[in-house]
Structure 1
Amino acid sequence: MKNKLSRASLLAAAVLAAAGGAHAQGDVSFNAAVANDYVWRGVSQTDNGATVQGGVDYTNGGFYVGAWASNVDFGSDADIEVDLYGGFRGAFTDALSWDVGVIGYFYPGEEDLDFVEVKAGLGYTVDAVSLGATAYYDPDNKNTYVEGTGAYAFSEKLKGLASVGNYSFDGGGDYTNWSLGGAYAFDVFDLTVKYTDTDIDDAVAGDVADENFVVMISKVF
């Protein structure tokens, strides 16, 4: 456990140092959202309750770093999740892009839940179609998550969204999750509606992994 926490602390320090030492000519953006549920990899993180979320991102060329937070409800002492992340992204061609980075998930009040993932992903966009594939690996717990995503732009404002992912745990209990929905960009906010589900048995996770409809209003500024 000490090793896990030390890695998480090192990640936090590295992300904050990178943000503090970043060149002033980079771009800073903020994001905020409210939704009826916080569903992550098919499983509710708020016990099927509402969520308020927000974050900040800094980008400079291919480098990016950021922080994001949300309320959570696991029935434990953890009431909030704070994510710190950073990495590099670029493009091989006009259509094919890449992204590598690291993400730390922190739960003040329940530090035993903290963990870190490294990730690598590819994206492909042609005309109105966008496809993505990303692999995440947790070196401390030896867990792997692989996800494929797809989007189709019906217009400048309306797009269809789909995803499928598989979570593989070193100790067993692997599962698959998927989602289907759409997003519409209004003038003052974005509206996203998704249907999500998993193949987790109710006897294992209860109703937090059941089929769900998530409605989110978000804004980047």
Structure 2
Amino acid sequence: MKKLIASSVLAATAFAGIAAPAMADLSANVGYASEYYYRGILQKESSASAGIDFEQSGFYAGAWTADVGDGLEYDIYAGYGMEVGEVSLSAGFTGYYYTGEFDDTYEEFNFSAGWKFISVGYSVGEWDGFGEPADYDFLEVTVEHNGFYGTYGEFGDEAEGDYIELGYGAEVGGFDLGIAAIFSSEELSDQADSNGDDTESEAIIFSLSKTFDL
């Protein structure tokens, strides 16, 4: 499962724990990343993306697509988020699909909880594996303060590997700008040592995105 999961569950979890207004909210987004990483795994260098999201009374649904070189990745997700006091909770489903041979289908259930500056997410799913299915789970913990954040993520079950991501994001002139450093274990790495063996990897990523209300 070297390519393990490429997508924007970020788009899905963006609604986690946010108290939604009674009115429906429909928005679209476009973005670009100098390198498209997801959960510590490189998907493609220089990748553009676009998506659409709907939310009403805590329920959310959306779709997102990105260039992965060999065709497109497209994701479909839906779920529900709520707040209980200072604690935010959400549960949902995400499917990751591909138009080419870059990877095979992933489908997973996502759960998250947050309190003030810390959030925890857990996903459990299955990869079709080109005829050889495999189960996996993924645990992530994120700490955030004034635009700065740090995330630790780890795969389990029939998948292995972990990573650390440190970054900063800010809105400038109506655009969301971001920079992140990603440190991946050898199981998730796309890099090799002089002997051709997988080795730990590091990357610096720049991103630019814009969200539009519809």
- Whether TM exceeds 0.5 here: the answer is yes
Determine the structure 1 residue equivalent to 2:209: 218
Deviation digits for residues 113-156 of structure 1, max 9, x if unmatched?
0110101110111xxxx211000101463200100111101xxx
Amino acid at match of 1:38: Y
Determine the structure 2 residue equivalent to 1:63: 59
> Distance in 2 between the 1:26 and 1:107 partners?
29
Other structure's SS at 1:184 match: strand
TM-score, length-scaled by structure 1:
0.75
Structure with more strand by fraction: 2
Other structure's SS at 2:191 match: helix
Determine the structure 2 residue equivalent to 1:181: 167
Which of 72, 76, 81 is equivalent to 1:84? 76
Q: Do structure 1's residue 137 and structure 2's residue 124 form an aligned pair?
A: yes
Aligned length in residues = 179
> Distance in 2 between the 1:169 and 1:151 partners?
28
TM-score, length-scaled by structure 2:
0.77
1:1-221 alignment runs, 5 A limit: 25-46=23-44, 49-73=45-69, 78-93=70-85, 95-110=86-101, 113-125=104-116, 130-139=117-126, 141-153=134-146, 159-170=147-158, 174-200=160-186, 205-206=190-191, 210-221=201-212
Deviation at 1:188, TM superposition (A): 2.2
Structure 2 CA distance for partners of 1:201 and 1:81, relative to 1, 3 Å: closer
Deviation at 1:98, TM superposition (A): 0.3
Which structure's CA Rg is the greater one? 1
Other structure's SS at 1:106 match: strand
User: Root-mean-square deviation (CA), in Å?
Assistant: 2.2
Determine the structure 2 residue equivalent to 1:16: none
Amino acid at match of 1:165: G
Structure with more helix by fraction: 1
Other structure's SS at 1:45 match: strand
Residue identity over aligned pairs, in percent, reads: 24
Structure 2 CA distance for partners of 1:69 and 1:112, relative to 1, 3 Å: closer
Structure 2 CA distance for partners of 1:184 and 1:86, relative to 1, 3 Å: same
